Structure 1
Amino acid sequence: MTSELTSAEPLDPAELDFEGALRPSSLSEFVGQRRVVGQLDLLLRAAEMDSRTPDHILLAGPPGLGKTTLAMIVAHDSGRALRMSSGPAISHAGDLAALLSSLVPGEVLFIDEIHRMARSAEEMLYLAMEDFRIDIMVGKGVGASSIPLELPPFTLVGATTRTGLLANPLRDRFGFTGHLEFYETDELLQVLTRSASLLGLDIPQPALAEIAGRSRGTPRIANRLLRRVRDYMTVHPHEEARTAVDSALALYDVDPRGLDRLDTSVLRALVERFGGGPVGVSSLAVSLGEDAETIEAVVEPFLIREGLMVRTPRGRVATSEAWKHLNLTPPAADQTLL
């Protein structure tokens, strides 16, 4: 089971309500991603001045960086209705046809995880994005016929964590692609300052900075950690804020570098059970009783970004920084590794 603080975990309704309350409603309120925000602002303002629907938008980047929030803002700042769906929910072309045919003129259609949409639906989307029409097949075999259906102008906002899985014809039909990047600590501090204010929490900046430093560059994780701190302060109202932050994060196994229980377990297994590697991800997963896909998709990217692990043709290898982080001394033969 993955840690409850990882960004790939499905969100329960309480988490969704909590995050929804903290979402900025306009580009002027959005913190971070300055380049993408500036590009979106220009795109939306130009469309408004020309009295046309904005170009189709693709938002790409790791989970938790604000793709869904930006999609909502596109609809809000352009004064248009928003329709939301997801790639896995569109399992065949008929699902997409029903969705597109019900759009009103100028509506913003947001498809999350668009790379997981059925290939038949993806091919139908090409024509819809380019010419605002779709062809519906009626009948089967030699008697089948195609009926063209005109669509009202709309703006598609697609979000993906795996840009490489999108077919080139689909990717090329987006007028703008925004690549979201991990946040710097000072940007996360701004996010947490705003969230704490909205939640009515009196937490000094040094304590918020500590949360920001452990948030893996991800606003979703930062806000979730803030919620855990809020819970701790509710149960222990007389504890000083900085102490409460440290105690809450320690309780949920988030170390000063942002590693959670699963991250640390993977790193410790790599170092202690496999001598620092190289070792395959399958062997790591079996040794921990975890799913290999979870380790590869959730844990590895962060450990590699932190310089604690590298991928080699022979498998995963712990860096000298990983040994230091665990307060261990690498074998003599590995002293010079990275």
Structure 2
Amino acid sequence: MSTEDPRELVGSSPVAEEKAMEAALRPKALDDFVGQKTVRGQLSLVLESSRLRGAASDHVLLSGPPGLGKTTLAMIIAGEMNAPLRISSGPAIQHAGDLAAILSSLTEGEVLFIDEIHRMSRPAEEMLYMAMEDFRVDIIVGKGAGATSIPLELPPFTLVGATTRAGLLPGPLRDRFGFTGHLEYYSTEELELVLRRSAAMLDVSVSTEGFAEIASRSRGTPRIANRLLRRVRDWALVHSVEDVGRSAASEALDTYEVDRRGLDRLDRAVLEALCTKFRGGPVGLSTLAILVGEETETVETVAEPYLVREGFLARTPRGRIATDAAWEHLGLPVPVPEERSGG
């Protein structure tokens, strides 16, 4: 059995060793991008218009949960525009000087991709306003009364910002994006298409039922689907399984503690703590974290969003509570209201 942390299998953030594999599996053209039909259609119009005008595209903001393809779309935008791509991230731009250094080295038409743009520092954000709107920045030279401002003209460029928390972006920054696209979670059918493409590239044979089994456990996220596919491939290779069907895929994913609803060890631990120790809650977040042996932030950002989205967990002013679906998923009898904590 693998010693890999099962949380990494269903976590939406990329782990270091899989980034090269992700890059190989990414589609290179908008027509090859699976899912997000509305965003793809709108983005296609934006890019085609800029090509016909012979000008840089409007700035693009992509929002949505991690793992849905924001970075891939940024790369596709650069590819469709035949423009070079510069990649940075919000946490890496903590001073206005950091941003000025990036902007001053851009070439005409270049695409600048800033991931997690909501995590930029405020001084850098304010510099970005002018750069996006007027294609210039003011560089401050010196300090105090002797400081002078030197305007620096920038070539037309396209900024692609990605954020998992669009609500944290200040209004003036959001307003400067000409196009905003929100990426939604994928359906099982869309994930099956993603998996078919990836399986062909990984040279692994999977049946239709096998694809459906992997997709159903992938939390609606292509990154997780591809990660699970690679683990199923490893299991099949070790067990000499040439054609992966539903039972083989199910056995492989059970080995990695990813159940039929995509829940992992941490997810189930949270639900079991709620149901068996507190009769369904309500329970405070910090108490839950102590019970499952994890940091509060891990429970809140890794486990809780999916459990809430799938209807296993609910937030209340008094704390977290388990829903009837949680009891049923754990194979426990659903208590009558008066048996619940505080009933």
Contact 2:6 2:256 in 1 (8 A): no
C-alpha separation in 2, matches of 1:297 and 1:2: 16
Which residue of structure 2 lines up, in the alignment, with residue 331 of structure 1? 335
Which residue is 1:96 aligned to? 99
**Residue 295 of structure 2 is aligned to residue 291 of structure 1:** yes
Native 8 Å contact 1:110 1:156 kept in 2: yes
* 1:87 matched to 2:90: yes
Q: Give 1:2 deviation, angstroms.
A: 7.1
Conservation of the 8 A alpha-carbon contact between 1:320 and 1:336: no
1:51 is matched with which residue?
54
* Pairing 1:11-90 to 2, within 5 Å after superposition: 11-12=15-16, 14-90=17-93
Residues 4-62 of structure 1 deviation map (CA, whole Å, 9 limit, x = unaligned): 113344521x3011111110000000000000000110000000001110000000000
Is the aligned partner of 1:176 residue 2:179? yes
The separation in 2 between residues aligned to 1:98 and 1:239, in whole angstroms, is 52
Structure 2 CA distance for partners of 1:11 and 1:176, relative to 1, 3 Å: same
* 2:151 equivalent to 1:148: yes
Does residue 303 in structure 1 map to residue 311 in structure 2?
Answer: no
Q: Please give the residue correspondences for 1:203-218 in structure 2 after superposition, counting only pairs within 5 Å.
A: 203-218=206-221
- Number of equivalenced pairs: 336
Distance, in Å, in 2 between the alignment partners of 1:64 and 1:33 is 13
Quickly say closer, same or farther: Cα 1:97–1:248, change in 2 above 3 A.
Answer: same
- CA contact 1:26–1:77 (8 Å) conserved in 2: yes
Selected match of 2:222 from 219, 224, 227 = 219
Cα-to-partner distance string for 1:163-207 (whole Å, 9 max, x where unaligned): 111111111100011000000000000000111111111111111
Query: Any gaps of 5 or more consecutive residues in structure 1?
Result: none
Task: Tell me: CA distance 1:239–1:30, structure 2 relative to 1, closer, same or farther (3 Å).
Answer: closer
Q: 1:113 to 1:25 in 2, by over 3 A?
A: same
Give the TM-score, by structure 1 length: 0.96
Residue matched to 1:249: 253
Out of 107, 130, 133, the position equivalent to 1:130 is 133
Secondary structure of the structure 1 residue equivalent to 2:290 = helix
Residue aligned with 2:88, SS = strand
1:289 is aligned with what amino acid? G
For the 8 Å contact 1:62–1:180, the answer to whether it is kept is yes
Structure 1 residue 330, shift from structure 2 partner: 2.6
Structure 1 residue 258: Cα displacement: 0.7
- CA–CA distance in structure 2, aligned partners of residues 20 and 169 of structure 1: 33
Mapped pair 1:164 → 2:167: yes
Q: 1:272 aligns with which of 273, 276, 288?
A: 276
Match of 1:190 in 2: 193
> CA RMSD, aligned part only?
1.5
- Structure 2 counterpart of 1:302, one-letter code: Y
